[in-house]
Structure 1
């Protein structure tokens, strides 16, 4: 490497004072550099950090609490949820396809990434994380890269040349992983209902959670073939290749076209140099106009609540911000425009303790993640509610029918009062 190999603190001190710094998200989280940023933020002139869904320990939050840096995220997760505080840790409501443009508006001085070592031609891989990271590297004047030999060399928009890197550091620990969500009988029943909605040879976009994990696992026994995935890759998809469910590895478009790979070593090892799994920049991977050209695109996303009007809340529990918009708005539009496409909202009918219905008369927040005209169908473990083309009253009746039986009476009462 002709670019210097520095200790993390020395590398972070290369940032301009007051720099706007972008960090790679997910399983590409550059935790070594973020730790150094948190430790040295007090001498960097109040840097501003931006990122999507981060994994790991969020080692910069103490610096934010002390006022030494500010952090903006469009996907609060883990420790960041509790740390949200105006002017220090802030949430930016933004759909995934808009993020590259926002980085231009905010200015991108520097980017922190985790990469594979350069090959003989000087090329490194961003591995599991393309999304907005490619654009940030293109725009930044300072690129700090922590090197990890275990980062998979992925195909697509994930290449960074050594000449683009300002300084290297050695990763001081393993990459962040995203284990599969715990499945249970209820989430499996939801997934089974969703499985029955899928057309032949579908292209699927799945969100995060137990229901998407269960649905992916069920595909292996479904008899479906020529399945594709867009948006995100997870561990459960690996078995689908062996089961012959996904398209062959040498086809174009590829079997998996993802902005992020969210999984464990199982997925990373499988993705290494695998042309069937292609990483795409958000300007492609989340662009509704691009995705709508894909036939039979089925978007399956979770929610916190759905009300009897068909409005969806997926970001807040009460007043507490627990998630971001992510790619859901983009994929909903894409599913609407796709020939034979479908937009599915899938959720369990109650909160985990069973005390509260997640099908409600009106959302518990005035903020709506998806408007009532967007979902084609809502699914719980109790069945399928088709909303597309139905009247206001028919939609409400269909939603009551898939609520938990213990909560249907008050929903019916509210329906009769309207």
Structure 2
């Protein structure tokens, strides 16, 4: 079996420059986002943009990249942001990009039901396991369904992408083009230099309201991150959340497992969920 899938894998390996030749004018691309943005594929697409017209790029929040929404991309690449981040906000304001408001719970349905049919999916995966399955890693929740709905799947395979367990896998036979890469994933620090005194004071008051045995839903930012630092004396805490930050790792021994949609934090967080059966 290993021989079989490895040959399939090798037959699909190519460069980013060759892979993006599969993009045609008028195509709709789904771009995996957050800290999972496949920057090598995206750069190759931007480099080829002048050859293309009216290519739509659908995505949620994207971090660390702005070239695909630059003014010179107008008429060639057009972002359709389903969540507006700081990198695309100006383009939306100036009419060079679109915003499609949607509930997070309905995000994947747009693609599954064909409301936004996907021609090509850009995904960012972990290396395959012994059976040939790659993990969508830190961006499973918003990527797996659009990718499976796409006509063509182009994947960056990165050894730095953690293998998150659960329903987070895709077999190499489902991929059309494989681009091996090796670079650190984007990180989103909660604050520069850690929480300030005001953040910590607010967090201390909030922590007093959290009883032993509570199940927590949390956000990201300076205050939610600081709250976690005041919970070390609490017992039997649970976490069922979309987002969490690095500070949750120091609490995880008392959580009994984590339920997560996508991770948006730092390297400690990535190490903590890699191959962890409690993180699903």
Q: 1:133 aligns with which of 140, 143, 163?
A: 143
Q: Which residue of 1 aligns with 2:254?
A: 245
Q: Which residue of 1 aligns with 2:51?
A: 43
Q: Which whole-Å CA distance do the structure 1 matches of 2:34 and 2:128 have between them?
A: 21
Q: Which residue of 1 aligns with 2:172?
A: 162
Deviation (angstroms), 1:259: 0.8
Higher-helix-fraction structure? 2
Deviation (angstroms), 1:196: 2.5
Equivalences for 1:317-328 in 2 at 5 Å?
none
Q: Which residue of 2 aligns with 1:183?
A: 195
Determine if the alignment matches structure 1 residue 229 to structure 2 residue 237: no
Deviation (angstroms), 1:245: 2.9
Give the SS at the match of 2:179. strand
Q: Which residue of 2 aligns with 1:6?
A: 14
Higher-strand-fraction structure? 1
The higher-RCO structure (CA 8 Å, 6+ apart) is 2
The answer on whether the counterparts of 2:14 and 2:178 sit within 8 Å (CA) in structure 1 is yes
**Residues 158-202 of structure 1: CA distance to partner in whole angstroms, max 9, x if unpaired?**
211101111011226322112232411112222222222224322
Deviation (angstroms), 1:63: 6.4
Determine if the alignment matches structure 1 residue 82 to structure 2 residue 90: yes
Q: Which whole-Å CA distance do the structure 2 matches of 1:224 and 1:92 have between them?
A: 42
Larger radius of gyration: 1
Q: Which residue of 1 aligns with 2:66?
A: 58
Give the SS at the match of 1:130. coil
**Residues 307-346 of structure 1: CA distance to partner in whole angstroms, max 9, x if unpaired?**
xxxxxxxxxxxxxxxxxxxxxxxxxxxxxxxxxxxxxxxx
**Residues 237-290 of structure 1: CA distance to partner in whole angstroms, max 9, x if unpaired?**
11112xx4312xxxxxxx211110112221111111101111xxxxxxxxxxxx
Deviation (angstroms), 1:65: 4.2
**Residues 73-119 of structure 1: CA distance to partner in whole angstroms, max 9, x if unpaired?**
12222322233246422222222111112233111111111111112
The answer on whether the counterparts of 2:216 and 2:237 sit within 8 Å (CA) in structure 1 is no
Q: Which whole-Å CA distance do the structure 2 matches of 1:22 and 1:112 have between them?
A: 6
Q: Which whole-Å CA distance do the structure 2 matches of 1:245 and 1:215 have between them?
A: 16
Uncovered stretches (5+) of structure 2, i.e. residues with no partner: 1-8
The answer on whether the counterparts of 1:80 and 1:89 sit within 8 Å (CA) in structure 2 is yes
Determine if the alignment matches structure 1 residue 207 to structure 2 residue 216: no
Give the SS at the match of 2:243. strand
Residues 87 and 109 from structure 1, CA distance in 2 versus in 1: closer, same or farther, beyond 3 angstroms? farther
Equivalences for 1:15-414 in 2 at 5 Å?
15-62=23-70, 65-85=73-93, 87-103=95-111, 104-171=114-181, 173-181=183-191, 182-221=194-233, 223-241=234-252, 244-247=253-256, 255-278=257-280
TM-score, scaled relative to structure 1:
0.61
The answer on whether the counterparts of 1:64 and 1:71 sit within 8 Å (CA) in structure 2 is no
Uncovered stretches (5+) of structure 1, i.e. residues with no partner: 248-254, 279-418
The answer on whether the counterparts of 1:145 and 1:168 sit within 8 Å (CA) in structure 2 is yes
Q: CA RMSD in A?
A: 1.9
